[in-house]
């Protein structure tokens, strides 16, 4: 798949490298491509944000929450009809953690998923634990063909996808993020801490 990763921080670069290793065509979208030549490893391209999105089948938003409005302003015309994966966490600003409302306003035809926001990047770099156990990744978004794309991309990072439900469960997924923050930031547990769903 042709994938756009918007952002060059730990989250975006770690997921992007995993997708490149899985054989996807990854384009990183960043404000200053010349400063991120290291991301071109494995055949990925590093381009302006709008150029990364224009040919992508799926777009990962992996920028700080405060940067989301600028990203959407640069990409709104090309996001409709694409899978948009929101990995942002607006921890410093008012309002929800997620960018769901902003994406819906900018690109109402996009297939919006809330995913990759509930764990630290260390779990994307090393998704397995002693004994070979894989971390679960909880996500929310619409059912259908776009959901199959999302689950493929989660699996290609090495995580086990767990669908919480449709868009009405975005805040539920954000609750999982808050639990991770409480354990890691509050309890000072290792950042390589993840969650698993057990069920009969």
SS3 assignment for the chain: CEEEEECCCHHHHHHHHHHHHCCCEEEEECCCHHHCHHHHHHHCEEECHHHHHCCCCEEEECCCHHHHHHHHHHHHHHHCCCEEEECCCCCCCCCCCCCHHHHHHHCCCCEEEECCCCCCHHHHHCCEECCCEECEEEEECCCCHHHHHHHHHHHHCCCEEEEEECHHHHHHHHHHHHHHHHHHHHCCCCCCCCCCCCCC
The model carries a pTM of 0.96
User: What CATH number has the domain spanning 2-186?
Assistant: 3.40.50.720
- Contact call for residues 19 and 156 (beta carbons, < 8 A): yes
Rounded to whole angstroms, the Cα distance separating 86 from 115 reads: 6
pLDDT at site 182: 97
Q: Which two tokens stand for residue 9?
A: 């921080």
Confidence of residue 62 (pLDDT cuts 50, 70, 90): very high
The pLDDT score that the predictor gives to residue 92 is 83
* Res. 94: pLDDT tops 90: no
Position 95 confidence tier, pLDDT thresholds 50, 70, 90: confident
Which pLDDT band, with edges at 50, 70 and 90, does 165 fall under?
very high
Domain ranges of the chain: 2-186
- pLDDT band for position 98 (50/70/90)? very high
């Amino acid at each position: 798949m042709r994938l756009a990763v918007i952002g060059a921080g730990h989250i975006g670069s770690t997921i992007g490298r995993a997708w490149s290793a899985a054989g996807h065509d990854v384009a990183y979208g960043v404000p200053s491509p010349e400063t991120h030549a290291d991301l071109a490893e494995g055949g990925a391209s590093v381009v302006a944000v709008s150029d990364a999105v224009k040919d992508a089948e799926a777009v990962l938003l992996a920028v700080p929450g405060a940067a989301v409005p600028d990203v959407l302003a640069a990409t709104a015309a090309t996001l409709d009809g694409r899978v948009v994966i929101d990995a942002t966490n607006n921890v410093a600003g008012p309002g929800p953690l997620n960018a769901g409302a902003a994406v819906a306003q900018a690109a109402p035809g996009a297939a919006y998923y809330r995913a990759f926001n509930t764990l630290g990047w260390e779990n994307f770099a090393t998704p397995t634990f002693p004994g070979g156990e894989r971390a679960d990744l909880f996500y929310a978004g619409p059912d259908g063909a776009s959901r199959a794309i999302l689950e493929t991309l989660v699996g290609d990072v090495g995580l086990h996808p767990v669908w919480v439900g449709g868009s009405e469960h975005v805040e539920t997924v954000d609750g999982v993020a808050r639990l991770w923050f409480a354990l890691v930031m509050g309890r000072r547990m290792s950042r390589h801490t993840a969650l698993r769903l057990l069920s009969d």
